[in-house]
Chain A
């Protein structure tokens, strides 16, 4: 693949060095899909935060926005003003992958492949997606596909070539049921499943509020895991920090790495890499005060 792009006008920094190109086959790239079925549970936030957490340790990470027509990942990563080409352009052969990939300004090993905002999901072809992912596999350690909500074409293609899946779930019944549906699809409609292999699945519980959980206003972690019978990757506490980070176009793991949600994402990223990290149920803010308060409320 040519390393130089005719469209690269300085600000568009997606040229691979030789070092990147020689990675071919040496590393085992992991293709992850971040999915949920339900909308608004934190897929895009989690994609950006985990992508940044993995890239901060030097791993080469590509995040792909599959939400064609309703793209958001570019905003959350603060790259919206640098989008020239997108996933659909690459699939249609209008642009090369190296031209469409946008390098993060803060982390030089984090790249974004944005979605097209002017097209819809029908523009995605199975062969096109396969080709893009195969090419990314030769250049990156992690390829994280940010799935659109729903179970239609965009979501199905986002999970199609995944090696592992992160199922983002809020601790409430509608989100959990949708996640259950998605797990069923991961076990039947992915290429791995069709070959008789298994897509590795992890549940990431987001928007966890310890006070509300103690009051019984949310499903407990145990309830969620019991219903989904799938291993837990992490518990991200509900926090203003997440919203604040999104608003300034920065993943929370970069914007405020010491905040509770950022630490939870860093732990989740380490678990993805196979490290054994003890699971803590987060209680945000002034821990002991909150716990006392919660107990009183329950």
Chain B
């Protein structure tokens, strides 16, 4: 799953994920628009600069009605990034694109067989309304074969990350034990993400789309506290003392 490019290509495609505010119209739509107006009256800039996804799963609208709703929202300065929850047959040219594969804010996305919902992760999921800094805390060692994927922010591991285990984070990765497996920070395109570990014996370190393998880590750094970051598109690694 690592789409790794080390040299600069003339054309680069990268998957990116963004936070979007999903709004869900409820029938009757006219009343719902009234509620939006009331919200805007209370807080004029509520939707300013927000990516908005229009979730139409609660209403049954014709293509023309959808187009009208989008126009109505635009009049209120709400720019719709995409539509979800409609039958693709109802989509027509001119409407915002259909979005797929969205998920609620704050969830950690498991992969590779075993995922562990730690209490910290569970807490982040329960209340998406409350804007908490997105981070995932793993209190136990991450064992070989386990994969922790958290694209919403930083991952902190209090124990070690075993050989054959991997951590994938949208933000930075902090490991207070030994890093013997793989760590991929900034996985959603965040080039300022960093990897910190108490003892670097990593199999692979990656930030955004740059990576180095164990062979690229200097011997003098091995088994030392270290950090890795990106500078001009190349991976830097230094001891932390």
Q: Which residues of A contact B (CB under 8 A)?
A: 151, 173, 177-178, 180-181, 183-185, 187-189, 226-227, 229
Interface residues in B, total, Cβ within 8 A? 18
Determine which residue in B143, B178, B180 has the highest number of CB atoms from chain A within 10 A of its CB, and name it. B143
Given the interface contacts A177-B164, A227-B180, does A184 sit within 8 Å of B145 by beta carbon?
yes
Instruction: With both chains docked as a complex, state the minimum distance between the C-beta of B114 and any C-beta of chain A, in angstroms.
Output: 5
Given the interface contacts A229-B141, A229-B159, does A180 sit within 8 Å of B164 by beta carbon?
yes
The residues of B that contact A188 with a CB separation of less than 8 Å are 114, 116, 146
Query: B160 within 8 Å of A by Cβ?
Result: yes
Could you tell me the distance between the alpha carbons of A178 and B146 in the complex, rounded to whole angstroms?
12
The residues of A that contact B74 with a CB separation of less than 8 Å are none
- Complex contact A181–B180 (CB within 8 A): no
Determine which residue in A151, A173, A185, A189 has the highest number of CB atoms from chain B within 10 A of its CB, and name it. A185
Task: Encode contact with A along B141-166: 1 for CB under 8 Å, 0 otherwise.
Answer: 11111100000000000011011110
- Residue of B at shortest CB range from A151? B145
Interface SS majority for chain A: helix
Query: B31 within 8 Å of A by Cβ?
Result: no
Task: Encode contact with A along B100-144: 1 for CB under 8 Å, 0 otherwise.
Answer: 000000000000001010000000000000000000000011111
Could you tell me the distance between the alpha carbons of A285 and B149 in the complex, rounded to whole angstroms?
50
Could you tell me the distance between the alpha carbons of A121 and B146 in the complex, rounded to whole angstroms?
24
Which among A151, A184, A229 is the interface contact of B146 at CB below 8 angstroms? A184
Instruction: With both chains docked as a complex, state the minimum distance between the C-beta of B62 and any C-beta of chain A, in angstroms.
Output: 47
- Complex contact A180–B116 (CB within 8 A): no
- Residue of B at shortest CB range from A176? B163
Could you tell me the distance between the alpha carbons of A69 and B143 in the complex, rounded to whole angstroms?
29
Could you tell me the distance between the alpha carbons of A96 and B114 in the complex, rounded to whole angstroms?
36
A sample of 23 cross-chain residue pairs with beta-carbon separation below 8 angstroms, ordered by A number, consists of A173-B163, A180-B144, A180-B162, A180-B163, A180-B164, A181-B143, A181-B145, A181-B162, A181-B164, A184-B142, A184-B143, A184-B162, A185-B114, A185-B143, A185-B145, A187-B140, A187-B143, A188-B114, A189-B114, A227-B162, A227-B178, A227-B180, A229-B141
Could you tell me the distance between the alpha carbons of A100 and B143 in the complex, rounded to whole angstroms?
37
- Residue of A at shortest CB range from B145? A181
Could you tell me the distance between the alpha carbons of A181 and B147 in the complex, rounded to whole angstroms?
11
